Chain A
Amino acid sequence: MQIIRSPKTYDVCIIGSGAGGGTAAKVLTEAGADVVMLEGGPMWDSAKNGAMFAWNYDSPTRGWGGDKKPFGVYDGCLGGWDIEGEPYTVGTGNWRWFRGRMLGGRTHHWGRISLRFGPDDFRRKSIDGFGDDWPISYDEMKPYYDKLDEFVGIFGSNHASQTGLHNEPDGIFMPPPKPRAHELLIKQACDRMKIPVVPSRLSIITRPHNNRPACHYCGQCGRGCAVHANFSSVSVMLPPALATGKLTIVANAMAREVMTNGDGLATGVSYINTADMSEREVRARIVIVAASCCESARLLLNSKSSRFPNGLANSSGTVGKYLTDSTGLSVSGFIPTLMDTPRYNADGVGGMHLYIPWWGDNKALGFPRGYHVELGGGFGMPGYGFMSGVHNFPQSRGGGYGADLKAEYRRYYGAFVSFSGRGEQVARPDCYCEIDPNVVDKWGIPVLRFHHTWSDHERLQARHMQETFRAIITEMGGVPTTNMPTREQDYGLAVGGLIIHEAGATRMGNDPKTSVLNSHSQAHDVRNLFIADGGPFVSQADKNLTWTIMALSWRTSAYIADERRKGNL
């Protein structure tokens, strides 16, 4: 079959429609660029395709979704860690790779936890000597975080002046919802322990905003919000881009390679139309790769030519290196005080109402980087796995059956809380992805092989999480429901990739010998090639990364618009 080439040359081709790609499409179309966006998965509309207000009993599996829906049958994200026909392999250590395959990508999955990085997060090497500093500062990023807060809409509170946490910068927040009852109970214990508990910062609007209604508090953000009260690229970024008339979206387009010419410039993208397996090409003056951290690295590594034998934009050999995920582990506790609590509608927004930002002083702790804590508990909708393991519940009868057991289940509903730590891994060159020389996916595209291990920096941080969460549960008068894991068990750290916060595989820097991109996320080697996802990150933070992916993409896109105006691109 012949390759089908688009007759038109677009100003910009964006690969990926998620957080980074969606933001770039909005900013660039509004600046007048003619943009084509390639998405590997199908079209998706939260209003039509979501499952808001569905009941678990309407599903024969009571909400269980299997490999195809690891977060439940009603989850609004298509994709997962295991996708049929799209393998990856693991060399050293272990790694799991979650991919979204739909318009809007993984913005349908994330918890809308929108934590802007703080001043320290851009200069960690200067502070503790590990990893590298970013080539940009918080002050350079602040205007873009502010634009995001204002345009997308986010609730939260400014607390730095009260908590003294200077690395948790103020933002532009809508009023946060009141805390849930169990969150107040957690806060009460943490207040005694001098651990700050503050309103969470989620990109869910609590006031009408830009023709989107305020949240109606059904707690189901993860299913796709039919009224667009939460953030997803599809709900918030793509509509204004489409309204300009300058955005063309091509779904089911699996990018294979970024094409280049004799001058070493990007000329477009070749892709597979997954609907009919045809080979296609689209031409563009500028290419923005926003396919997700590892997918973008894979695309560059697969874009080999005589001029770029190690892959595109990889003269430094850095593409794929310095791959990180957030550290993660959870501890649950049974809280006797919460037994027999009168019922109320505890749904609220689709996420915690309070959280714990990083409060520790790493100089005094023996590990360099911090973490934040996500709180769980309350009266959730019963579904698959509900009340599983009742025979092990602390202070329970230990099993049994019959009317007494039925009554016991009622007493334990809502009597558990959970603490999930999400922390910063120190970036290292020996955590990386590369092309597996022997394996291709079903589109014939060579796949990634991952190498990822934790170091003592992360293990000691994990031990601190475990000890802290257990201490909070004890302070609440409760009992942890799991035993303290050992050092050999990495203190309970989740396998890399399970937290779905990959970053760093195409990192930015001022030195072209040690970085892929400059401070505008522009490839050192190819001036009309940009990356707009987690790839450019020099380091993670003790904060989730999506808000920074979008702020970076906005900044990069504003730079591109400016360079285009000046005739430089």
Chain B
Amino acid sequence: MSEMDRRQALRVLGGTPAAALAFTWTAEEASAAAAQATQARAQAAARRQPYRPRFFTASEYATVVALADTIIPRDARSGSASDAGAPEFIDYIVAEQPARQTAMRGGLVWLDSECRRRFDKTFVSCAVGERGQVLDDIAWPARARRELSHGVQFFTTMRDLVATGFWSSRIGVDDIGYLGNRPVGEWPGAPAAVLLKLGVSYE
């Protein structure tokens, strides 16, 4: 049983993280809890309504999802930006930060206009290769053509928002390897492999 499953199980059983530290489980209890947790997760997933955007229209939101998953796609190690809830975060934060709203809405329109100009289609309707042609022109600020500066600005902002949305999610935290936010008795310092790599020591 992984640590995550176990924590999930405890939550389902009404336990608390503190309780997890206080007792140990028998094999039967553990497998029963795991089964219960798996079932509860499946039920919760089935119950979950699709996110209803607060700021973006349905078609804008579809573009945000497509962009987010292009910026951070699923790979062998972890899921995609939308698996991690990045589009929900982006919608929420743009709703909370009015100063961003015009630039975000206008940027999405800019992107669709550019796609229409080149392919007579919106970004979402474009094939992967077509999307790539547009994004390759705006995803590299230092070498982008000047006439595309507004697209560059928009994509840079979007990339940064996707980064927060992905990496600060549970999926992202596990992927990047953040190992804190837990109580430890005596902080042990950095392990030998880290010290060795950096060429430093506690001596």
Nearest chain-B residue to A407 (Cβ)? B75
Cβ of A342 within 8 Å of any chain B Cβ, yes or no, is yes
Q: Shortest beta-carbon distance, A200 to chain B, in Å?
A: 14
Nearest chain-A residue to B80 (Cβ)? A406
Known: A342-B193, A344-B191, A403-B73. A184 touches B168 (CB 8 A): no
Name the residue among B17, B92, B177 with the largest chain A CB count within 10 angstroms. Answer: B177
Q: Shortest beta-carbon distance, B56 to chain A, in Å?
A: 15
Inter-subunit contact B70/A401 (CB<8 Å)? yes
Which residues from B are CB-within-8-Å of A53? 17, 181-182
Q: Shortest beta-carbon distance, B97 to chain A, in Å?
A: 8
Inter-subunit contact B167/A409 (CB<8 Å)? yes
Give Cα A385 to B75, complex, Å: 23
Cβ of B135 within 8 Å of any chain A Cβ, yes or no, is yes
Q: Shortest beta-carbon distance, A534 to chain B, in Å?
A: 32
Inter-subunit contact B139/A401 (CB<8 Å)? yes
Provide the main secondary structure of the chain A interface.
Answer: loop
Kindly supply a per-residue 1/0 record for chain A positions 363-391, scoring 1 wherever the CB is within 8 Å of any chain B CB and 0 otherwise: 00000000000000001111111111111
Q: Shortest beta-carbon distance, B153 to chain A, in Å?
A: 11
Enumerate A391-414 residues with CB–CB distance to B below 8 Å. Answer: 391, 398-403, 405-407, 409-410, 413
Inter-subunit contact B179/A345 (CB<8 Å)? yes
Known: A217-B183, A398-B140. A342 touches B197 (CB 8 A): yes
With beta carbons under 8 angstroms apart, the residue of A185, A345, A398 that contacts B200 is A185
Cβ of A64 within 8 Å of any chain B Cβ, yes or no, is yes
Cβ of A94 within 8 Å of any chain B Cβ, yes or no, is no
Give Cα A178 to B70, complex, Å: 42
Cβ of A143 within 8 Å of any chain B Cβ, yes or no, is no
Cβ of A57 within 8 Å of any chain B Cβ, yes or no, is yes
Which residues from B are CB-within-8-Å of A405? 71-72, 159
Q: Shortest beta-carbon distance, B43 to chain A, in Å?
A: 21
Enumerate B152-196 residues with CB–CB distance to A below 8 Å. Answer: 156, 159-160, 163-165, 167-170, 172-173, 175-185, 187-191, 193-195
Cβ of A89 within 8 Å of any chain B Cβ, yes or no, is no
Report the tally of A-B residue pairs with Cβ distances under 8 A.
Answer: 183
Cβ of B45 within 8 Å of any chain A Cβ, yes or no, is no
Cβ of B22 within 8 Å of any chain A Cβ, yes or no, is no
Q: Shortest beta-carbon distance, A72 to chain B, in Å?
A: 12
Q: Shortest beta-carbon distance, B155 to chain A, in Å?
A: 8
Give Cα A386 to B172, complex, Å: 11
Give Cα A356 to B32, complex, Å: 53
Cβ of B110 within 8 Å of any chain A Cβ, yes or no, is no
Inter-subunit contact B198/A185 (CB<8 Å)? yes
Inter-subunit contact A390/B159 (CB<8 Å)? yes
Which residues from B are CB-within-8-Å of A56? 168
Known: A57-B170, A337-B198. A388 touches B139 (CB 8 A): no
Inter-subunit contact B170/A400 (CB<8 Å)? no
Which residues from A are CB-within-8-Å of B55? none
Cβ of A346 within 8 Å of any chain B Cβ, yes or no, is yes
Give Cα A406 to B164, complex, Å: 12
With beta carbons under 8 angstroms apart, the residue of B75, B88, B141, B202 that contacts A398 is B141
Which residues from A are CB-within-8-Å of B180? 218-219, 345-347, 379-381
Known: A348-B187, A410-B175. A57 touches B194 (CB 8 A): no
Inter-subunit contact A402/B187 (CB<8 Å)? no
Known: A216-B184, A379-B178, A406-B75. A180 touches B190 (CB 8 A): yes
Inter-subunit contact A55/B73 (CB<8 Å)? no
Inter-subunit contact A178/B202 (CB<8 Å)? yes
Inter-subunit contact A60/B194 (CB<8 Å)? no
Nearest chain-B residue to A60 (Cβ)? B92
With beta carbons under 8 angstroms apart, the residue of A178, A182, A383, A402 that contacts B189 is A178
Give Cα A212 to B90, complex, Å: 41
Inter-subunit contact A61/B141 (CB<8 Å)? no
Cβ of A177 within 8 Å of any chain B Cβ, yes or no, is yes
Cβ of B46 within 8 Å of any chain A Cβ, yes or no, is no
Inter-subunit contact B198/A181 (CB<8 Å)? yes
Nearest chain-B residue to A389 (Cβ)? B160
With beta carbons under 8 angstroms apart, the residue of B71, B168, B194 that contacts A383 is B168
Cβ of A240 within 8 Å of any chain B Cβ, yes or no, is no
Known: A188-B200, A401-B70, A401-B135. A379 touches B175 (CB 8 A): no
Q: Shortest beta-carbon distance, A393 to chain B, in Å?
A: 12
Name the residue among B135, B180, B185 with the largest chain A CB count within 10 angstroms. Answer: B180
Cβ of B58 within 8 Å of any chain A Cβ, yes or no, is no
Nearest chain-A residue to B92 (Cβ)? A60
Cβ of A32 within 8 Å of any chain B Cβ, yes or no, is no
Cβ of A338 within 8 Å of any chain B Cβ, yes or no, is yes
Inter-subunit contact B73/A406 (CB<8 Å)? yes
Nearest chain-B residue to A392 (Cβ)? B141
Kindly supply a per-residue 1/0 record for chain B positions 20-60, scoring 1 wherever the CB is within 8 Å of any chain A CB and 0 otherwise: 00000000000000000000000000000000000000000
Q: Shortest beta-carbon distance, A21 to chain B, in Å?
A: 31
Give Cα A343 to B173, complex, Å: 12
Which residues from B are CB-within-8-Å of A169? none
Which residues from B are CB-within-8-Å of A380? 178, 180
Q: Shortest beta-carbon distance, B53 to chain A, in Å?
A: 12
Inter-subunit contact B163/A388 (CB<8 Å)? yes
Cβ of B142 within 8 Å of any chain A Cβ, yes or no, is yes
Give Cα A334 to B190, complex, Å: 20
Inter-subunit contact B70/A181 (CB<8 Å)? no
Give Cα A407 to B75, complex, Å: 10
Cβ of A66 within 8 Å of any chain B Cβ, yes or no, is yes
Which residues from A are CB-within-8-Å of B172? 382
Inter-subunit contact B178/A382 (CB<8 Å)? yes
Inter-subunit contact A184/B198 (CB<8 Å)? yes
Inter-subunit contact A409/B176 (CB<8 Å)? yes
Cβ of B143 within 8 Å of any chain A Cβ, yes or no, is yes
Inter-subunit contact A62/B185 (CB<8 Å)? no
Inter-subunit contact B96/A66 (CB<8 Å)? yes
Give Cα A438 to B111, complex, Å: 49
Name the residue among B88, B159, B178, B195 with the largest chain A CB count within 10 angstroms. Answer: B178
Which residues from A are CB-within-8-Å of B187? 177-178, 215, 217, 345, 347-349
Which residues from A are CB-within-8-Å of B135? 401
Enumerate A134-187 residues with CB–CB distance to B below 8 Å. Answer: 177-182, 184-185, 187
Q: Known contacts A216-B183, A337-B198, A345-B179; can you find 4 more A-B pairs with CB under 8 A? A: A56-B168, A62-B165, A342-B191, A344-B179
Q: Please, could you name 24 A-B residue pairs with CB atoms under 8 Å apart, sorted by A?
A: A53-B182, A55-B173, A64-B96, A179-B202, A181-B194, A184-B200, A215-B187, A216-B185, A217-B184, A218-B180, A219-B180, A343-B178, A346-B180, A347-B181, A348-B187, A380-B178, A382-B164, A386-B168, A387-B160, A398-B140, A398-B142, A399-B140, A402-B73, A403-B75
B residues lining the A interface (CB < 8 Å):
17, 70-73, 75, 85, 88-89, 92-93, 96, 135, 139-143, 156, 159-160, 163-165, 167-170, 172-173, 175-185, 187-191, 193-195, 197-202
A residues lining the B interface (CB < 8 Å):
53, 55-57, 60-64, 66, 177-182, 184-185, 187-188, 215-220, 337-338, 341-349, 379-391, 398-403, 405-407, 409-410, 413
